[in-house]
Structure 1
């Protein structure tokens, strides 16, 4: 069996619950291939925007790197874009990661850290104006369920992170494995990265 890839999940107060646990359900079903590590600034459980807290496995200052970095969005990103310690940590971790993936406004943190400069990326369409202001050098995609550019996968709002995670599993383990995981989760996987009906509903696709 090949070596497990470690997934480092960046947590902060007021993260969006589904941004984290939607993707982790998909990766967790493939537990033979992925090891999940929840990260925080301290060992104190971190509350999501919806209330439930997540335990922290490792703090940011613990030694080590992660094959895949997962950055969620949520209301807390409005505060964390000004958290220089977190942004610096992301910049130090990114070169050691095979893939960096974000859900919703998590891409705003990557953009603010300068990691998406010159790359194509997307974000939550309901927060598109705010998120895109965090990275004026990013080639923001107004209509996309998720975007892959090099080692970076960025997805639109909330449930899009599940589709993106299955797309990464497809890339790493094959389409059949990704389809089997979606079937086990009884999830209808949208395999079209460009199919983004919520951009239309939010009016983002009408922006110039």
Structure 2
């Protein structure tokens, strides 16, 4: 049960974000926060300007907030996708991520979102992972990071990073367990019928 204080999770959106990187965790976390409001958590999406955000493969998402109007978040989730590459040279975005991470108690990423966290200086000396095709780049961006090439996700206390695309769903279920209980995470998994059985 919640102590009465509402806590917030923010999903960061940006042009050419990977669809499943964002929507996979959103499905998990929105199921949790909407079906079990008594747990005390809320979820919102936020982008720099609040305008409709074109994703990497053609979907468009309308964020709920522009960054200057968004509530302070206890947990931030930075997805990956093709759009992370320009962000590595976008000091305005990197400063925003640094500020959000400082305000939050937990910083998380999906896929190449970890590259942005690395460029922002948030992964120094930490065990981390990302999409398998970007592991070398992650190590290059933050040489002190301990890059795990096998993990689906890595929990290092106030930092959780996950591997590519669909791994974000696993990480989000882990977040429900971390922020509430394993039993609640199992209820969410059952509710969204997440039982992977690849046909190939």
Decide whether the 8 Å contact of 2:72 with 2:103 is kept in 1: yes
- Alignment of 1:139 with 2:146, yes or no, is yes
Residue 15 of structure 1: aligned partner: 17
Superposition misfits of 4+ residues, deviation over 4 angstroms:
none
Distance of 2:8 and 2:171 partners within structure 1: 17
Distance of 2:7 and 2:58 partners within structure 1: 29
1:67 paired residue among 66, 74, 92? 74
Decide whether the 8 Å contact of 1:132 with 1:140 is kept in 2: yes
The superposition leaves residues 90-125 of structure 1 with CA deviations (integer Å, 9 ceiling, x where unpaired) of 111212112111000000100100011011110000
Residue 46 of structure 1: aligned partner: 53
Decide whether the 8 Å contact of 2:135 with 2:147 is kept in 1: no
1:127 paired residue among 109, 129, 134? 134
| Secondary structure of 2:68's aligned partner | coil
TM-score by length of 2: 0.89
Report deviation, 1:176. Answer: 0.9
How many pairs does the alignment contain? Answer: 189
- CA RMSD between the two structures: 1.5
Distance of 1:48 and 1:91 partners within structure 2: 23
Decide whether the 8 Å contact of 1:15 with 1:75 is kept in 2: yes
Residue 83 of structure 1: aligned partner: 90
**Which segments of 5 or more consecutive residues in structure 2 lack a partner in the other structure?**
none
Report deviation, 1:29. Answer: 1.1
TM-score by length of 1: 0.86
| Secondary structure of 1:180's aligned partner | helix
